[in-house]
Structure 1
Amino acid sequence: MLELQGLTRRFGSVTAVNDVRLSIPDGQMVGVIGRSGAGKSTLLRMINRLTEPSEGRILHDGQDITALRGSALRRWRTDCAMIFQQFNLVQRLDVLTNVLVGRLNHRPGVMGTLTSLLCLFTAEERALAIQALDRFDLADTALQRADTLSGGQQQRVAICRALMQEPKFILADEPIASLDPRNARTVMEALRQVNREDGITVLTNLHHLDTARHYCDRIVAMQAGRVMFDGPPAALTGEKVREIYGVSEDEFDEQAEEAVKPKAQRAPKAGLAIA
């Protein structure tokens, strides 16, 4: 069980996450929704301690994660694999090596880091990486440079890399925001497959309500750093969306879509612009 107890993060005078309290059972797939600036990304980054909480605690099976330091903190970050919107692959390296980088945290010390950087991986590790790629129909891309792949393929490579960490959690920060609908479905199906077949807890930030409803067991809706809704997908009705955000579902999705576009592609702000 992952427990967030009064989790708060301030950046100067701005409170990005405000007194969040959640209990997440192992093996659940949770979608976190909200407008840009709602605190979704900060929340995920606090869970694996990439961002430090200003107040509150993170507990896992009774262990105080917020108190971890040194090697214990590195082990926790290995348990919490991150997947990012922009894939975070090394574009000039081949796909197989990008996946093998997921073993980095399993190699303690300077020598472990050096052997990983020099791509001195074992035959067993290479076999595991190929197996992960094959699971998502990517084995034939193993020797291609990462930058030759489509966005959807790159994000599935990122999922394979995460699996090489042997994590307990996958924290996916807007994993489909840069993808077209077909590739978005493929990536969400891959995350759900990992959740269902491997029993890995998945927390994912999403910007489309229908996507969250279709793939997630539970939805957490945030607004201005606070949790405004926490429940099953069916309970997040159109009326509830309007109550929280003051807009219809279609307007919410349109605003969210606009917010994740590159700045050059965004329409001029008018009316119901996203905060």
Structure 2
Amino acid sequence: MLELQNISRRFGATQAVSGVSLKVPAGQMVGVIGRSGAGKSTLLRMINRLTEPSEGRILHDGVDVTALRGQSLRDWRTRCGMIFQQFNLVQRLDVLTNVLVGRLNHRPGPLGTLASLFKSFPAEERAMALMALDRFDLADQALQRADTLSGGQQQRVAIARALMQEPRIILADEPIASLDPRNARTVMDALRDVNRRDGITVLCNLHHLDTAREYCTRVIAMQGGRMMFDGPPEGLTAARLREIYGVSEAEFNEQSAMAHAPRAAAEASAA
């Protein structure tokens, strides 16, 4: 069980997240929706402790995550994998090594650093990485440089890397915002497979309600740093959406897509 107790985060005078409380049972797939600036990314980054809460506590199976330091914090980040919009792969390294990087937290300190520098990983870890790549139809690309892959392929490599951490939770921060519809569906299918087959809890920031409705059993809607809705997708009706955001679902999706369009275009040109 992941539990957030009155979590808030301020950046100077800006209240990015304000008093969010929720409980996420193990194995749920939760979609977090909201316009750009609603606080979605800050919320996920606080769970992973990449951003420190200004107030409140985060608990996982009764352990106070907000109190963790040093190795205990590194262990938590291993159990709580993070997937980013821009993939965060080492572009000059081959795909297999990028996936194997997910094992480094299992060998902290100098050993992990040396393994990364010299691509020195045990045979069983290499086998694990190849199985993860094969699961997402990427085994044939194992020895290619990461920067030769499409955006959708790179994001699936990032999911395979997260699986190598053997996480309990995966946090996906706008994982499909930079992708075309076909690649977006492939990535969401991969996340759903991880959730269903491995029983891993998935929290996924999304900018389209229809995607959250299709893939998630629970939807959280944020606006201005506050949680405005928490429930099954069918509960977020057209009337409720208009109450929260002041627009129709079509307008909400269009505005969210436009907000992400510059980043998506930049990613497409880079690819």
Could you state the TM-score of these two structures normalised by the residue count of structure 1? 0.95
* Cα distance between partner residues in 2 of 1:224 and 1:140: 44
Partner of 1:164: 164
Number of residue pairs aligned between Structure 1 and Structure 2: 266
Q: Does 1:221 find its partner at 2:221?
A: yes
* Cα distance between partner residues in 1 of 2:265 and 2:187: 24
* Cα distance between partner residues in 2 of 1:108 and 1:15: 35
Q: Which runs of 4+ in 1 moved over 2 A?
A: 263-266
Partner of 1:204: 204
* Cα distance between partner residues in 2 of 1:41 and 1:238: 24
Residues 202-253 of structure 1 show CA distances to partners (whole Å, capped at 9, x for unaligned) of 0000000100000001000000000000000111111111010000001000
* Cα distance between partner residues in 2 of 1:111 and 1:125: 15
Amino acid at match of 2:38: A
Amino acid at match of 1:236: L
Partner of 1:87: 87
Partner of 2:113: 113
* Cα distance between partner residues in 2 of 1:182 and 1:136: 15
Shift of 1:117: 2.5
Residue pair 2:91, 2:145 contacting (<8 A) in 1 also: yes
The percentage of aligned residue pairs carrying the same residue is 78
Distance 1:26 1:263, change over 3 A: closer
1:261 alignment partner, SS class? helix
Partner of 1:153: 153
**Uncovered stretches (5+) of structure 1, i.e. residues with no partner:** 267-275
Amino acid at match of 1:28: Q
Partner of 1:36: 36
Partner of 2:234: 234
1:51 alignment partner, SS class? coil
* Cα distance between partner residues in 1 of 2:76 and 2:238: 38
Amino acid at match of 2:242: R
Partner of 1:178: 178
Shift of 1:263: 6.6
Cα-Cα RMSD: 1.2
1:260 alignment partner, SS class? helix
* Cα distance between partner residues in 1 of 2:85 and 2:108: 28
Shift of 1:112: 2.5
Could you state the TM-score of these two structures normalised by the residue count of structure 2? 0.96
**Uncovered stretches (5+) of structure 2, i.e. residues with no partner:** 267-271
Shift of 1:265: 6.4
Q: Does 1:51 find its partner at 2:51?
A: yes
Amino acid at match of 1:159: I
Residues 170-206 of structure 1 show CA distances to partners (whole Å, capped at 9, x for unaligned) of 0000000000000000000000000000000000000
* Cα distance between partner residues in 2 of 1:76 and 1:253: 34
Shift of 1:92: 1.0
* Cα distance between partner residues in 1 of 2:6 and 2:124: 43
Shift of 1:116: 2.5
Partner of 1:5: 5
2:114 alignment partner, SS class? helix
Of 96-105 and 257-266, the range deviating more from structure 2: 257-266
Q: Does 1:193 find its partner at 2:193?
A: yes
Give 1:125-140 correspondences, 5 Å limit. Answer: 125-140=125-140
* Cα distance between partner residues in 2 of 1:265 and 1:194: 28
